[in-house]
A = this chain, B = another copy of it.
């Protein structure tokens, strides 16, 4: 059984070929939109329908196998659920890089909300800018 199959079953979902393909594509690309998932999956499973992609993304986000990454001015992207990290979003090419959180990050978030009676479940940090590759193209 593949890792993807295990991941799905652990979360109460049947391990269909379609679902595993979505996870594989998301894993390989890191962050990917619905349309791009479709374009990739259809290469290995030509009969898949866009509706199936949508249904499964919704389901896997509910089960927290996938995570939605909302991006200002763009369609959201999806990534495999993984440990806390921040996103570097390039406004030129649209690519998203992950950057692990450092130890002080937690302290800062705690400090920011310690006086609040707000119970935090999930954090989401996007830093928008220009990636190394695009900087060299512009300059």
Contacts and interface: CB of A to CB of B under 8 A. Distances in A.
A126 B129 contact: no
A72 B131 CA distance: 24
Nearest to A129: B120
Q: How extensive is the interface on chain A, given as a class?
A: 35 or more
Copies in the complex: 2
A5 interface: no
A116 interface: yes
B127 A123 contact: yes
A130 interface: yes
A55 interface: no
Nearest to A106: B108
Given A69-B72, A120-B127, 16 more contacts: A70-B71, A88-B116, A99-B116, A101-B112, A102-B112, A109-B127, A116-B132, A117-B131, A117-B132, A118-B131, A119-B129, A120-B128, A122-B129, A123-B126, A125-B125, A125-B126
